[in-house]
Amino acid sequence: MKPGRLEYALLLPMLLGSVTAASASGRMTQFPGLHRAPWSSSVTSTQVIHVSGAEIQIDFAHGDLDISHNDIVQWVKTAANAVSLFYGKSPVARVRVLVLPIADEAGVLTGTTWGNVDGFPAFTRMRVGQHTTEQDLANDWTMTHELVHMALPSLSQNHHWLEEGLATYIEPIARSQAGTLSPEKVWGELLRNMPKGEPGATDQGLNQAHSWASTYWGGALFCLVADVSIREQTQNSEGLQDALRAIVAAGGPSIRSGPSPECLPRAIRPLEHRS
């Protein structure tokens, strides 16, 4: 390894040092009351798609939608493709997406992702308004954001900012790389929203700041700083995406399982041999 080359490997423990607090059982373990347990009643229909080697089961709960199920399936497929392109592969082999129609509402309302639910390494529940349009799906960022969560275990509340910060930072970049969001839109949104993550006068660091702005945009700002630092140390030849891809390629950690101390050395090793 060249002197100074890929010193950003040292950022991996910093970036993922909080992972030792993760749980294999998903977010419910760390956040009782913040996320309701996955909805498990009967479904009206199911479609299975394959994206980058991953099997994605899309279940439709009872309820009406103005758009077709095929429109929803294409929306999920587009998001899954963007996440797989960003990471170089799907972070997990099997995914369940439950679409829960919400009467008299419009747009994609909320999403939540858990690990290891009923045999699925990753399970995402999306609440979609009855009157959602195709354009709403085309403009949506939530589906991609939720699928990004597949690549990192659920963390303790003090480190929840890393989960949401990574997803917030990666989502628009992944969509842009997949060709569904322009670079100008990506950086315009980041420029407008990143200041929300700046610490307040009395803040004591991201671990102690649990506001929405600190969790999402403070975490995203951390990822931006890490990305820029990596690029500075590698003459802009590599960035945060390369580090995260190496972690996924090394087999973890991901939402499907708790971390092991060996995962970081395995992730760093492929990077050390690059010229």
Tell me the domains of the chain and their CATH numbers: 7-26+154-272 (no CATH), 43-151 (1.10.390.10)
- Tens of pLDDT, residue by residue over 89-122, are 999 999 999 999 999 999 999 999 988 888 899 9
> What is the band of 80 on the pLDDT scale with cuts at 50, 70, 90?
very high
Q: What is the DSSP string of 69-117?
A: HHHHHHHHHHHHHHHHHHHSS-SSSEEEEEEEEETT--SEEEEEEEEEE
Mean pLDDT for all residues in the chain: 81
Query: Residue 212: what pLDDT?
Result: 76
What's the mean pLDDT in 166-181? 96
Give the residue among 142, 135, 125, 134 at the shortest CA–CA distance from 57: 125
Residue 116 phi, psi dihedral angles, 5° rounding: 55, 70
- Tens of pLDDT, residue by residue over 120-155, are 999 999 999 999 999 999 999 999 999 999 998 877
| Burial environment of residue 217 by CB neighbours within 10 A (0 to 12, 13 to 18, 19 or more) | buried
What's the mean pLDDT in 34-58? 84
- pTM of the complete model: 0.81
Query: Residue 38: what pLDDT?
Result: 63
Cα 200 from Cα 183, distance rounded (Å)? 29
